[in-house]
């Protein structure tokens, strides 16, 4: 992999195992929008990006070396060898065909606050509606980053909202969870940075103490926002997948179960009813 800075764009050459369509629209992040030209636009960690891929070259438009190094390199997990990871996963015969079919799904390293907040909203909800709620949340309370794109509002910004304010966004019964969550993160009672430093088990324990966070939401937040690649979220789709693994997960998933999970989740949504 080679990085070139070219007229305001950043070119990452020799990128293997990255499919932007799959990665940005497989239910792990809710804020990327596909453009008419096939590229993707979105905001992460307060920074706007338009991105596309041609063959093995990823083009990050109108960005800077600083943003690439500080935000996007980690966000798109460029430092991880997904070819090797996929080869390891394919030692399990059941997942092998799925990895081939949806080759290029990566785990995005999202902001921990955005991930936690988003997956509290996600519970007992469908992806289309989750996107709508989060879009309204950002447009109403986030900062405008550029035309039509907003940052994800901080816990501090949201801590002054009432339960009714959250209900007005269409969050339904989750409004009371969000109201409390924002206050407790803003006050420091919940310390997301500290949770990142804990073991998976201890980090999960901390998240499970939060009102409105159960095992599924905790595992999603840990996988997508806290860098725990071994967190293995089981939702209604993954419950169906688990019937194929009556004896438990194969050993080759160890340490990268979350990545396996994302391939299986995507397969289930496309193939199981």
Partner DNA sequence: GTCCAGGCATGCA
Partner DNA sequence: TGCATGCATGGA
The residues of the shown chain that bind DNA, judged by CB under 7 A, are 26-28, 119, 122-130, 167, 170, 172-173, 176, 210-218, 220, 233-238, 261-262, 265, 269
Least distance CB 64 / DNA (angstroms):
30
Comparison of 90 and 129: residue with beta carbon closer to DNA:
129
Q: Pick the closer one to DNA by CB: 12 or 155.
A: 155
Closest approach of DNA to the CB of residue 98, in Å: 14
Query: Contact at 8 Å (CB) between 245 and 79?
Result: no
From 256, 224, 205, select the one nearest 108 (Cα to Cα): 224
- Output 60 or 107, the one with its CB closest to DNA: 107
Note if 176 is an active site residue: no
The secondary element (H helix, E strand) that includes residue 135 is helix 127-141
Q: Give 44 or 60: the residue with its C-beta nearer to DNA.
A: 44
CB of 238 to DNA, least distance (A): 5
Query: Catalytic: which of 2, 84, 216, 273?
Result: 216
Q: Number of helices and strands (H, E) in the chain?
A: 15, 8
What one-character DSSP code corresponds to residue 189?
A: S
Q: Which of 152, 76, 147, 149 is nearest to 113 (CA)?
A: 152
Euclidean distance between CA atoms 269 and 273, whole angstroms:
8
We find the least distance from the C-beta atom of residue 203 to DNA, in angstroms, to be 14
| Residues involved in catalysis | 216
């Amino acid at each position: 992999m080679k990085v070139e800075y070219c007229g305001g764009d950043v070119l990452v050459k020799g990128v293997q195992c990255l499919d932007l369509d799959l990665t940005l629209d497989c239910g792990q992040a809710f804020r990327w929008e596909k453009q008419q030209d096939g590229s993707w636009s979105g905001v992460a960690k307060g920074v706007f990006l338009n991105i596309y891929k041609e063959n093995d070259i990823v083009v990050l438009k109108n960005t800077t070396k600083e943003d690439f190094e500080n935000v996007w390199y980690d966000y798109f997990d460029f430092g991880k060898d997904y070819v090797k990871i996929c080869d390891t996963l394919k030692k399990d015969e059941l997942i092998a065909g799925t990895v081939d079919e949806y080759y290029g799904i990566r785990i995005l390293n999202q902001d921990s606050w955005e991930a936690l907040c988003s997956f509290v909203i996600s519970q007992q909800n469908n992806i289309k509606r989750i996107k709508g709620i989060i879009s309204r949340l950002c447009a109403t309370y986030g900062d405008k980053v550029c035309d039509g794109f907003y940052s994800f509002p901080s816990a501090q910004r949201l801590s002054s909202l009432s339960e009714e304010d959250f209900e007005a966004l269409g969050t339904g019964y989750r409004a009371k969870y969000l109201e409390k969550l924002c206050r407790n993160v803003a006050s420091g009672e919940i310390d997301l940075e500290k949770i990142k430093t804990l073991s998976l088990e201890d980090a999960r324990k901390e998240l499970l103490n939060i009102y409105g966070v159960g095992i599924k939401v905790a595992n999603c937040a840990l996988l997508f926002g806290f860098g725990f690649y071994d967190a293995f979220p089981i939702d209604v789709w993954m419950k169906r997948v688990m019937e194929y693994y009556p004896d438990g997960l194969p050993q080759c998933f160890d340490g990268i179960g979350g990545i396996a999970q994302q391939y299986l989740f995507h397969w289930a949504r496309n193939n199981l009813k």
